[in-house]
């Protein structure tokens, strides 16, 4: 069975990385979601791809200047559609509650926190703490583009599966040693420029291979025929039923 990850939730149907986008996922037969996490000034972990509010909320500014009390006044939905006016930026705790209720499996992507290592450690603290509330019957995969952050997470949580993320530019000859240093058994690679030979090489090393972000059915099919195990997609609802659970 190939895995479809709802990338930032059902992010073409609802504003990305919001509770509404995640809650839509089971309705479309997907049981894996991907989310991005970063941390506010007070240590609150939130679901957000960007470290800035500019692209996906009704105001500009940095996440790193906010505290949890600020979240009530920030609208992360009205930029997307009138149906989502007032949609908040979720906290990680709210996200975990939703995952438990909907019985979803989750890939938590730890953002490469741009505010420095001390802030990154607070992000890791919050993620580790938040994940203790995830029901034990949920599948969990933690990933990051930052191998130092991921290795530190794995040091703290050796029993949780981790995946190294590689952009096209970062996928260089040292990818295998980075994977091994992080004790990762799954690799998340960018779709653009990915070749059959590279997929075969990664599979030959025994890794689970997931590819981001794949929104064309033909490309997904090609990747699956090369041996790819899963794709991250914004349009899971358009995939044929053979990839979905109902």
Closest by CA to 211, choosing from 227, 232, 235, is 232
**Residue 39's closest CA among 142, 119, 144?**
119
Q: Any contact of residue 191 with Mg ion (CB under 5 A)? A: no
Q: Say if CB 46 and CB 121 are below 8 A apart.
A: no
| 7 lies in the site for ligand G3P, by CB under 6 A | yes
Q: Name which of 40 and 164 has its Cβ closer to ligand G3P.
A: 164
One residue of 5, 15, 36, 208 binding Mg ion per CB under 5 A? 36
Residue 94's CB: how many other CB atoms inside 10 A? 17
Distance in angstroms (rounded) separating the CA atoms of residues 189 and 210: 6
Report the nearest approach of ligand G3P to the CB of residue 167 (Å).
8
Residue 120 makes CB contacts below 8 A (sequence gap 6+) with: 112, 113, 146, 149
Binding string, residues 32-61; x marks residues near ligand G3P by CB under 6 A: --x-x------------x------------
Distance between CA atoms of residues 205 and 136, nearest Å: 29
User: Among residues 151 and 163, whose Cβ is nearest to ligand G3P?
Assistant: 163
Q: Is residue 234 at the binding interface for Mg ion, with CB under 5 A as the rule?
A: no
**Binding to ligand G3P by residue 17, rule CB under 6 A?**
no
Smaller CB distance to Mg ion: residue 36 or 191? 36
Asked whether position 80 contacts ligand G3P by CB under 6 A, the answer is no
Shortest Å, Cβ 17 to Mg ion: 9
Residue number, 212 or 243, with CB nearest to ligand G3P: 212
Q: Point out which residues pair with 128 in neighbouring strands.
A: none
Interhelix angle 147-156/117-131, nearest 10 degrees: 40
What residues line the site for ligand G3P (CB under 6 A)? 7, 34, 36, 49, 109, 143, 165, 188, 212-213, 232
């Amino acid at each position: 069975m190939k895995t479809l990850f709802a990338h930032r939730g059902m992010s073409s149907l609802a504003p990305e990385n919001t509770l509404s986008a995640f809650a839509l996922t089971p309705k479309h037969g997907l049981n894996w979601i991907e989310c991005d996490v970063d941390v506010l000034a007070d240590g609150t972990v939130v679901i957000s791809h960007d470290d800035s509010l500019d692209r996906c909320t009704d105001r500009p500014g940095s996440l790193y200047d906010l505290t949890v009390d600020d979240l009530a006044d920030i609208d992360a939905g009205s930029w997307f559609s009138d149906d989502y006016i007032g949609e908040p930026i979720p906290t990680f705790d709210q996200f975990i509650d939703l995952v438990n209720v909907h019985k979803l499996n989750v890939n938590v992507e730890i953002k490469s926190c741009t505010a420095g290592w001390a802030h990154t450690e607070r992000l890791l603290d919050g993620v580790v703490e938040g994940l203790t509330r995830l029901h034990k019957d949920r599948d969990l995969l933690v990933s990051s583009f930052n191998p130092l952050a991921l290795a530190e997470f794995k040091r703290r949580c050796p029993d949780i599966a981790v995946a190294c993320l590689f952009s096209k530019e970062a996928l260089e000859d040292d990818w295998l040693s980075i994977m091994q240093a992080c004790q990762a058994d799954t690799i998340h690679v960018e779709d653009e420029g990915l070749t059959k030979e590279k997929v075969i090489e990664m599979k030959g090393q025994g890794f689970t291979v997931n590819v981001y972000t794949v929104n064309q059915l033909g490309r997904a099919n090609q990747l699956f025929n090369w041996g790819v195990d899963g794709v991250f997609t914004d349009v899971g609802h358009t995939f044929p039923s053979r990839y979905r659970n109902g």
